[in-house]
Structure formats: C-alpha cells, structure tokens
Amino acid sequence: MRRLVIGNWKMNRTVPETVALVGSLLARLSPAADREIAIAPPFTALSAVAPLLKGSAVLLAAQDLFWQDEGPYTGEISGVMLQDVGVSYVLVAHSERRRHLEETDRIAGLKVRAALRTGLKPVLCVGEDEVERASGRAFTVVRAQVARGLEGCVPGEASRLQVAYEPVWAIGTGRAASPAQAAEMHDLIRQELRAVLKDSARAVRVLYGGSVTPDNVDELMPAPGIDGLLVGGASLHAEQFARIASYR
C-alpha cells in the first residue's frame, strides 16, 4: 500500500500566493514510488493550481464538498465541480468544520457518499477533543464517527477510502499525539473498518493528523498502522512540507 501525505492549507493564501507556494514546493519534491503527495489549497485557487500540478509528483485535493451534485445550494461546491477542475482527494468533516460549522456524523456520511459517487477519493476526518479523551470516551467517539461516516459504504469502495485520525487536542497546538497514542487509535479505527468493510478494510489508508512537523514526522511514521499524514500549518511552508513528505 502506498502511503499518502496531504497538505491542508485551510483558509490561507490568495491565488498569487498559492501559485508562488506551489512553485516553491514542486522545486523541492520528486516522485517516490512508495507514497502519494497531495495539497488542498482554498477553493478559489483550485483552477490555478491544477495545471501547475499536471505531470508532477503532487495531486490536487479539496478541503470540503457538498452532499448533492447540483441544485439550489448557494455557496456550496459539488463533487462534480471538484472532479471537473482536476481534484483527486477531498477532505470530509475536518474537526474545524465539525466544531465551527456544527457538521455532524450524518453530514459526514452524506459527503463521503457524494465523493464516492462523483469519482473522488474521500478522506474522512475523525478524532476526539481534550474533554472526551480526559473522560475516557475517546474510543467511543472515534468508533461512532467512523461507523456513521462510512455508513452505506461497501467493500468494493474500500480502495478509494481514507480515514484521517486527527485528535482535536493536537490540531494547531504543537502537541502531537505520541506514536503510541496514534498507533492505539489507528488500531481501533482499523477494527471498526473491518466491521464495516470486512476483509476489504485492509485497502483503506488510515492517516494521522495533528501538529505534524519536520521534527516529529520520522518518529510518527514508523508507528504501527499509520499509512500517511494530514498536515496543517507546516504545509504552508514549502521547505517544511517537503521535508515531511520526504520522511525517512
């Protein structure tokens, strides 16, 4: 299984800034047979970035999508539109959308289905917050997020699915989960994947996200069950993201 590293730029960079950052990043990256690399710039920059990435070692991702393919949904972006512009991967239910926009597990499931229906590869984001971890509910929360987010998925779709474990208490805090904590939760996620997708669950990549930096990437990646990374702040700096994507 090829590993996957995705840079999530969130609500950062104008189109000219994005083009400059992509140029700097491409100059630092080279193809690697054992991993895929993708970046998720803002919606406004997708059309400008797509031709820059063509033929390169980097794929295009999007940060969100709507659960319908078209219709009277002002301000939303469909999977059809994303595929049309050249997007391969799409994040679903990132913790910031769950927290700030009150996205639910039901919405996450609808978006996963929409991504699969329109030819995209969804990255379902799951993870507990600090209170849930402190109260001993982390496993219960994450297990439910996986089950509800993948409701309706069938074994034949497993190879197009990704799950990203992003402990909310680690995002943007500089406090990454330890390799042991990440491995423990990834094992739990893998158990739930087997319950949903049976033997095909082995084809699903489980990524880690949460304060990934050049300083901790080489410690995180050997941890059992980590099939890739979802990188936030560090992906906005070409040198840092290139170092992370080139983990040893």
Instruction: List active site positions.
Output: 94, 166
Q: What is the DSSP secondary structure assignment for residue 201, as one 8-state letter?
A: G
CA distances from 156 to 102, 117, 124, 160, 175 (A): 30, 13, 17, 9, 37
CB 229 within 8 A of CB 89: no
80 is written with which tokens? 């059809």
Taking a C-beta distance cutoff of 8 angstroms, is the pair 28, 242 a contact?
yes
Task: Please report, to the nearest 10 degrees, the dihedral formed by the alpha carbons of residues 114, 117, 118, 124 taken in order.
Answer: 50
Residue among 240, 236, 243, 238 nearest 41 (CA): 236
* Contact between residue 93 and residue 108 where contact means Cβ atoms under 8 Å apart: yes
97: Cβ–Cβ under 8 A, 6 or more apart, which residues? Answer: 64, 103
Nearest alpha-carbon partner for 91 in 158, 7, 21, 151: 7
Task: Please state, in angstroms and as integers, the Cα–Cα distance from residue 78 to each residue in 65, 72, 84, 123, 175, following that order.
Answer: 5, 11, 10, 16, 34
Q: Tell me if 39 sits within 8 A of 61, measured CB to CB.
A: yes
